[in-house]
């Protein structure tokens, strides 16, 4: 295994490119980190990994009782499947971005000791999110069957919105990670922002109820609106998105990813004495 390694501090490539190379080289580490996250998450609980399935079901039940019975929201098909599909997309986003940031800030002691690509934690958070998302489609399908939402061939399109969501979440995760290194209370602040953002995105309510005056803020200018909608398309609505809908999401996802990656990798040299 004698790979001749040579490190020369004078030869410094473009940070974003180097970070990509590093992350690729350390893909085993990212895999191990995902494994660690998943193994440790449920290790000490009695039902173990079943919680990944039960959690969304419980959540759906609560939200359905609260909102479809009390507020009487009108949705094309069952409300339960509507809320769960939106909720899964949102949970993916909020959990992965938070995990990316928290892992970097609290697990960063390692970055002071040993060279590992700084983006490993964020990438691992996304990986964990994708695994959880894959598992959570099981209860989603279950709810759809029970509430008689038609399951369509369009379901095969689901990986695309997940991927775009992942790109957006990664960009966001990296951006707030870089911020959190400088200002630890970004971690707390972000939770408040997430809560506000959650209610300002049509997840638990149908977009039709938004008053005309606010609609542009809650829909057009809200990247998560587009991504959540794209996610609902193949499952809940049972149709393929239009080219326009798809390209907006690609644009949002790629832009966020590039911005996040760029800022993060350019700032990451300073992390080791900030953390």
Partner 1 sequence: MNSLIESKDLNHNEGPSTTADDEVIRLENVSVRYRVPQERIGTFKEYAIRWVQGKVKHRSFLALQDINLSILKGEVFGLVGENGAGKSTLLKLIARVLRPSSGRITVKGSVAPLLEIGAGFHPELTGRENVFLNGAMLGFTQEEMEEKFPRIVDFAELGDFIEAPLRTYSSGMWARLGFAVATETQPEILIVDEILSVGDESFQHKSLERIQSFKADGATILLVSHSMNMIEQMCQRAAWLSHGNLIAYGSTHAVVEQYLGQVREVESNRLSEESTEKPTHRWGDRRLEIRQVKIFNAKSQEQNTFYTGETLILRIDYFAHEPIPSPTIGVAIHRQDGVHITGPNTTFAGMDLGVVEGPGTVIYTIPYLALLEGLYSFTVATVNQEDTIIYDYHDRLYAFRVNNHGENVSERYGLMTMRGEWKRI
Range 235-274, binding partner 1 (CB under 8 A) = 269, 272-273
Q: How far apart are CA 138 and CA 51, in angstroms?
A: 12
Q: Binding of partner 1 at residue 10 (CB under 8 A)?
A: yes
Quote the tokens at residue 174: 């990296």
**Contact region for partner 1 (CB under 8 A) — 37-45, 75-83, 131-139, 220-228?**
37-45
Quote the tokens at residue 65: 């009782």
- Give the nearest distance from C-beta 5 to partner 1 in angstroms: 5
The answer to whether residues 148 and 54 touch, using CB atoms and an 8 Å cutoff, is: no
- Give the nearest distance from C-beta 4 to partner 1 in angstroms: 8
Q: Binding of partner 1 at residue 192 (CB under 8 A)?
A: no
- Give the nearest distance from C-beta 6 to partner 1 in angstroms: 6
Q: Binding of partner 1 at residue 25 (CB under 8 A)?
A: yes
Q: Binding of partner 1 at residue 43 (CB under 8 A)?
A: yes
Q: Binding of partner 1 at residue 12 (CB under 8 A)?
A: yes
Contact partners, residue 201, CB within 8 Å, separation at least 6: 86, 90, 218, 222, 224, 225, 228
Residue 148's region, left for phi above 0, alpha for psi from -120 to 50, else beta, is left
Q: How far apart are CA 253 and CA 88, in angstroms?
A: 18
Q: Binding of partner 1 at residue 211 (CB under 8 A)?
A: no
- Give the nearest distance from C-beta 111 to partner 1 in angstroms: 7
Q: Binding of partner 1 at residue 186 (CB under 8 A)?
A: yes
Give me the 90-119 binding string for partner 1, x by CB under 8 A, dash otherwise: -------------------xxxxxxxx---
Give me the 120-159 binding string for partner 1, x by CB under 8 A, dash otherwise: ----------------------------------------
Q: How far apart are CA 205 and CA 73, in angstroms?
A: 7
Beta strands in 147-194 (DSSP E): none
Nearest-CA neighbor of 18 among 221, 264, 275, 252? 264
Give 43 or 72: the residue with its C-beta nearer to partner 1.
43
Q: Binding of partner 1 at residue 44 (CB under 8 A)?
A: yes
The answer to whether residues 228 and 86 touch, using CB atoms and an 8 Å cutoff, is: yes
The answer to whether residues 268 and 19 touch, using CB atoms and an 8 Å cutoff, is: yes
């Amino acid at each position: 295994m004698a790979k001749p390694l040579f490190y020369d501090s004078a030869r410094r490539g473009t940070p974003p490119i180097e970070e990509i190379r590093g992350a690729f080289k350390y893909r085993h580490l990212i895999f191990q980190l995902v494994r660690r996250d998943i193994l440790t998450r449920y290790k000490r609980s009695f039902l173990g990994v079943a919680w990944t399935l039960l959690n969304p079901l419980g959540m759906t039940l609560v939200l359905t009782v609260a909102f479809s019975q009390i507020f009487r929201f009108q949705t094309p098909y069952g409300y339960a499947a509507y809320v769960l599909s939106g909720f899964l997309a949102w949970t993916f986003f909020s959990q992965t971005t938070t995990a990316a940031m928290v892992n970097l800030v609290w697990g960063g002691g390692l970055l002071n000791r040993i060279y590992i690509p700084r983006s490993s934690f964020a990438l691992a958070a996304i990986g964990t999110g994708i695994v959880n998302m894959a598992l959570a489609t099981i209860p989603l399908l279950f709810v759809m069957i029970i509430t008689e939402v038609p399951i369509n061939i369009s379901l095969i399109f689901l990986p695309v919105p997940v991927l775009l969501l992942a790109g957006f979440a990664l960009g966001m995760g990296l951006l707030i990670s870089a911020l959190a290194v400088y200002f630890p209370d970004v971690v707390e602040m972000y939770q408040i922002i997430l809560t506000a953002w959650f209610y300002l995105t049509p997840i638990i309510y149908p977009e039709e109820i938004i008053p005309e005056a606010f609609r542009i803020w809650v829909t057009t200018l809200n990247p998560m609106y587009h991504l959540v909608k794209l996610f609902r398309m193949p499952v809940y609505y049972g149709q393929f998105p239009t080219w326009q809908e798809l390209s907006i999401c690609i644009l949002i996802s790629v832009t966020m990813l590039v911005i996040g990656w760029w800022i993060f990798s350019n700032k990451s040299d300073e992390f080791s004495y900030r953390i």
